[in-house]
Structure 1
Amino acid sequence: MTKAMGAAMRRIQAGSALSAFGLGFTVPYLYVYVAQVRDLGATTAGVVLAVFAMAALVVLPFSGRAIDRRGPVPVLLVASLLAAAGAFGLGLAATVPAAIGSAALLGAGTAVMQPALATMIVWCSTPVTRTRSFATQFFLQNLGLGVGGLIGGQLVDTSRPDSFLLLFSIEAVMFLVLAAIVLTVKMPDTATLPGARPAGGRGGGVRALLGHKAMVQLCVLGFVLFFACYGQFESGLAAYGTEAAGIAPSTLGVALAANTAMIVAAQFLVLKFVERRKRTRMIAAVGLIWTVAWLIAGYAGLGHGSQAMATAAFISTYALFGLGEAMLSPTVAPLVADLAPESMVGTYNSAFALVKQLALAVGPAVGGPMGASLHGPYIVTFVLFSLGITVLALRLGKRLTPEQNQPSLVTKPSVIVARHEPERRETAAA
């Protein structure tokens, strides 16, 4: 990595962390704010949350092409401004249309930020350094979300709407800070992506992506990963914990804190272990870790032990999920980038972000009712999904080149790009 690339990367990581810090101020309190503080009702709050998610599904199919045509910087600037307008609008929203419109802006803006930031990281890294770069981003984003949520919890007061205006204003300012930082970033021409600069939209588009079997398999794997983990955190698993395991609602916050603490504590400890091994084997190991996590959750709700044991087991489930997340951050996102042809990095990142968003939409819809009432089938279902992660990861490994599966094998950063044509991967070794 050159000095210019390192300087650009530090600014990108700082902006990413600050935007996550801003999100942490408001995301945990959005439902309460709309339903109770603004007195718009539970139905409206549900619609606002749905619009927030649906806005991402609407814009992500177009964001990748825009990134590849215009570059990630202008797209990220527009996304930051949209998100800032949405956040500030929510702080002032006293009517249903205002709340829904602001949520749409915020959802669209924050959704587009992720593939744009990911593409900037790709441009400012090499195949060898990319693993650590994405792990750092994941670590800083989780730290930012956690600190933001902690500070926001101290400022929020449901009897004072102006306290929420303060939270949303801080969030809006963080997005504007991200935009200001991005304006100072000088994106380097890199040896690893010599054709990465926008070139009038050249490339095969979505059809080429769908014809790339390794990427399609990775998207399927990604859907299962996000469905079986993130899609259950605040829906099915929370419902299961309170209904089957008798977990107090306040303990859910402790469990989420344990998840974040595990990520922060383990991220760089597992990084050295992960970056010297095949990515698909590490993803397969995550499937086994999450299988154990779901079995422990099963004990918490179905084991008929003491309440203290059930509570400890439930918190351990979230902690084990965090360990798996720490192992995924240096593997999955860099793999998406390494699979992408040089003119389609934005398209590939946006496609994977769309898969994640779909999983986060479907996960609560499926897991919520099951976790609340079908306790045994719920655990069995997600044990099977976790084992499916292991199977899918090992199958994916057969379609990757050795360098794509284990970047530490790369001795010359430029060689991997020459192998980035989708049609040439069919005979790749595991």
Structure 2
Amino acid sequence: MSLIREKSVHDHAAARHGEPPAPPIGTGRRGPSALLGLLTAAGGPRYAVALAVDAVGGGLLRPFLLLYGIGVLHLGAGAAGLALSAGMVAGLLVVPLTGRWIDRGARTLPAAVTLLVRAAGALALLLADGQPGFTAAAVLFGVGSQSWPTTHAAVVSTLTEGRLRDAALAAGRSLRNAGMGTGALLATVAVSGGTGVIRLLAGVTGAACLVAAALVGSLRVRAPRQERPADTRERAEPLRRITLLSLANVPYAFCFDVLEVALPALLVLHLHASPAWSSGVFVGNTVLVIALQLALVLKLADRSRHTVLAASGTLLAVSYLAFWAVGSLGGVPGAAGIAAVSVLYTLGEILYTGSGTALVASVAPPHLLGRALARWELSSGVGRAAAPAVLTALLAAGPGALWASLAAATALGALAVLRLGPR
């Protein structure tokens, strides 16, 4: 019996006896036990292990792939970067196909396949001896990494419901942030150990993805059969609203590269501050997301998701204007101001990631869940792919051009969520 059916049976029995429904998993506990309960709510311990592998792998891949290409295969930075871009584009192109596969009823199988594809990427990396092999590995990693969020959200949406689903998604994001930080640290240690350690890390990553794929595949979860509406317009309208929501999401998605690209460049190039300020802001953001993501999702459970998503855009827009204001102080005061404002920015990011996917999952028709999630993740991927080039170009024109443009675009996105998004 699935978790949805178990909860439904329990709640109906409780109603017959005049008792309240059971609270969502994790809401009656605090700290690590609540997080563990929510991580195992969708798929149990086996799926939680796969989440951990994905999280650490995500942290490894960003710096690790580039360093592998340059340090082990002796490629130029430009050639390695081009291969990574090809991998990202290939991954984005596959996301809509993943969504259609999910809509045919598949759930854990697509998730397992994304992990298998990444394991194949690790093998291709170990066998590579030049640019073609490295590009093939980057494409495999890109396809697996870009498709994972859609498949993961589909699994969670099938095995949980309502606010329990929101909390389980938030717990997964907290784990992902912790794992990405751990993965980045491992990649740094691997580089200091030389090419032999880097190759070993690639092999361990591939083996871990293979084990995680076997664990996820063993769950054998499929979606229950759903009757499709006879009216074509009734089928198309929810997806049209989700498409509009996804378009509004594009400026939101720039927020991640604000932390990774815009703020470091602003601090070092314009304020001439020590790179330690950038590292401190990044670490502080990671710690706050891990500590507050789940707590805020549970705290705002009585608020509508689309209102929280619009509020997150407002917070992000205000933080961009505040970055502009404190940056004008220059030097150490400006750097300290940016570190302080980054707390407001992080709260906006937490509300955004805690409400966006949950909103799409809650309003998508069951037979279109895959396509709905794919459109949302595709808009996030497009925003993140465009962000480095757009942000650096705006910053070259001056901090005012950067922050004013970001604030205006994100505020318009928040307004579009309020007026056009599904409810």
Q: Which band: TM-score by shorter chain? A: 0.7 to 0.9
Query: Which of 200, 203, 206 pairs up with 1:169?
Result: 203
* Distance in 2 separating the partners of 1:203 and 1:184: 35
TM-score by length of structure 1 reads: 0.82
Partner of residue 389 from structure 1, selected from 397, 409, 413? 413
Q: Distance in 2 between matches of 1:167 and 1:204?
A: 53
> Match for residue 351 of structure 2?
327
Equivalent AA in structure 1 for residue 62 of structure 2: V
Give distance in 1, aligned partners of 2:208 and 2:161.
Answer: 28
How far apart, in 2, do the equivalents of 1:234 and 1:65 lie?
32
Match of 1:367 in 2: 391
More displaced 10-residue stretch of structure 1: 64-73 or 179-188: 179-188
> 1:208–1:253: structure 2 CA closer, same or farther, 3 Å change rule?
farther
Residues 328 and 334 of structure 2 are in contact (CA less than 8 Å); yes or no, is this contact kept in structure 1? no
| 3-state SS in 2 of match to 1:275 | coil
TM-score for the superposition, normalised by structure 2:
0.83
Among 116, 119, 131, which residue is 1:81 paired with?
A: 116
The structure-2 alpha-carbon separation of the partners of 1:266 and 1:211, relative to structure 1 and needing over 3 Å to count, comes to: closer
State how 1:380-419 maps to structure 2 within 5 Å: 380-396=404-420, 399-400=422-423
Matched residues in 1 for 2:230 and 2:51: separation? 28
- Matched residue, 2:98: 63
Whole-Å Cα distance in 2 between the matches of residues 300 and 341 of structure 1?
Answer: 45
Are the equivalent residues in 1 in contact too, given 2:360–2:372 (CA < 8 A)?
yes
SS of structure 1 residue aligned to 2:162: coil
Equivalents in 1 of 2:370, 2:96: separation in Å? 11
Q: Report the Cα distance in structure 1 between the residues aligned to 2:67 and 2:396, rounded to whole angstroms.
A: 21
Deviation at 1:323, TM superposition (A): 1.8
Match of 1:242 among 249, 261, 268: 268
C-alpha distance 345-115 of structure 1, shift in aligned 2 (>3 A): same
* Distance in 2 between residues matched to 1:90 and 1:319, nearest whole Å: 38
Looking at secondary structure, tell me which structure has more helix per residue: 2
Number of matched residues? 388
**Displacement of 1:204 after TM fit?**
10
In structure 2, C-alpha distance between the alignment counterparts of 1:16 and 1:145, rounded to whole Å: 11
- 1:204 to 1:98, Cα distance in 2 relative to 1, 3 A: farther
Does the CA-based 8 Å contact 1:83-1:110 persist in structure 2?
A: yes
2:291 is the alignment partner of 1:273: no
For the aligned residue pairs, the C-alpha RMSD in angstroms reads 2.9
Aligned to 2:15: none
CA gap of 1:289–1:55, structure 2 versus 1, over 3 A, is same
- Asked if the contact 2:313–2:352 (Cα under 8 Å) also holds between the matched residues in 1, the reply is no
* Alpha-carbon displacement from aligned partner over 1:257-309 (angstroms, at most 9, x marks no partner): 111111011113312322111212212221222123213322343223xx332
- Deviation of 1:393 after TM superposition, in Å, equals 2.5
Secondary structure at 1:221's aligned position in 2? Answer: helix
Counterpart of 1:134 (choices 169, 194, 216) is 169
Is structure 2 residue 52 aligned with structure 1 residue 12?
no
Aligned to 2:401: 377
Cα offset, 1:156, TM superposition: 2.3
Structure 2, gaps ≥5 residues long: 8-39
Cα deviation code 1:385-417 (max 9, x no counterpart): 2322331232146x52xxxxxxxxxxxxxxxxx
Q: CA deviation at 1:231?
A: 3.7
Q: 1:95 aligned to 115, 126, 130, which one?
A: 130
Quote the offset at 1:22 in angstroms.
1.9
Q: Alpha-carbon deviation of 1:96?
A: 0.6
Q: Secondary structure at the match of 2:271?
A: coil
Give the Cα–Cα distance (whole angstroms) in 2 for the partners of residues 97 and 298 of structure 1.
Answer: 43
Give the equivalent residue in structure 1 for 2:249. Answer: 222
Aligned with residue 374 of structure 2, among 350, 364, 368: 350
Structure 1 residues 382 and 42: CA distance shift in structure 2, 3 A: same
Distance in 1 between the 2:340 and 2:245 partners? 28
- Output one character per residue of 1:289-343: Cα deviation in whole Å (capped at 9) or x when no partner: 2123213322343223xx3322223333444333222222331112111222111
**Structure 1, residues 195-232: CA drift from partner, whole Å, max 9, x if none?**
35xx9x99999x965873321221122212102x0243
For 1:108 and 1:245, the matched residues in 2 are separated by: 38
Aligned to 1:294: 320
Measured after TM superposition, the shift of residue 235 of structure 1 is 2.9
| CA distance in structure 2 between the partners assigned to 1:138 and 1:383 by the alignment | 25
Q: State the percentage of identical aligned residues.
A: 25
Contact preservation (8 Å) 1:82, 1:105: yes
Following the alignment from structure 2 to structure 1, what is the Cα–Cα distance between the partners of residues 343 and 83?
Answer: 30
| TM-superposition CA deviations, 1:103-155 (whole Å, max 9, x none) | 00110111122211111101001123211111111111111111222233223
The residue identity in structure 2 corresponding to 1:294 is Y
CA distance in 2, matches of 1:214, 1:350: 14
> In structure 2, what is the Cα distance between the partners aligned to 1:87 and 1:310?
43
Rounded to whole Å, the distance in 2 between the matches of 1:250 and 1:56 is: 33
- Pair 1:179 & 2:213 matched: yes
Residue ranges of structure 1 left out of the alignment (5+ in a row): 401-430
Q: Counterpart of 1:212 in 2: which secondary structure?
A: helix
Match of 2:191 in 1: 156
Q: CA separation in 2, counterparts of 1:212 and 1:69? A: 16
Query: For residues 8-31 of structure 1, what are the alpha-carbon distances to aligned partners after superposition, in whole Å with 9 as ceiling and x for unaligned?
Result: 255434312221112212312333
Q: Is the 8 A contact 1:80 1:179 kept in 2?
A: yes
Superimposed CA distance per residue, residues 16-70 of structure 1 (whole angstroms, 9 cap, x where no aligned partner): 2221112212312333332344321121122122112111122112111112225
Q: Residues of 2 paired with 1:171 and 1:24: CA distance?
A: 11
CA contact (8 A) 1:289 1:324 kept: yes
CA separation in 1, counterparts of 2:230 and 2:390? 37
Q: Equivalents in 2 of 1:381, 1:396: separation in Å?
A: 22
- Report if the CA contact (8 A) 2:306-2:359 is conserved: no
Distance (Å, rounded) in 1 between the aligned partners of 2:303 and 2:55: 29
Matched, 1:121 2:151: no
Q: Counterparts of 2:271 and 2:299 in 1: how far apart (Å)?
A: 35
Q: Is the 8 A contact 1:84 1:173 kept in 2?
A: yes
Q: Is it true that 1:338 corresponds to 2:373 in the alignment?
A: no
- CA–CA distance in 2 between the matches of 1:63 and 1:17? 22
The match for 1:147 among 182, 187, 211 is 182
Partner of 1:423: none
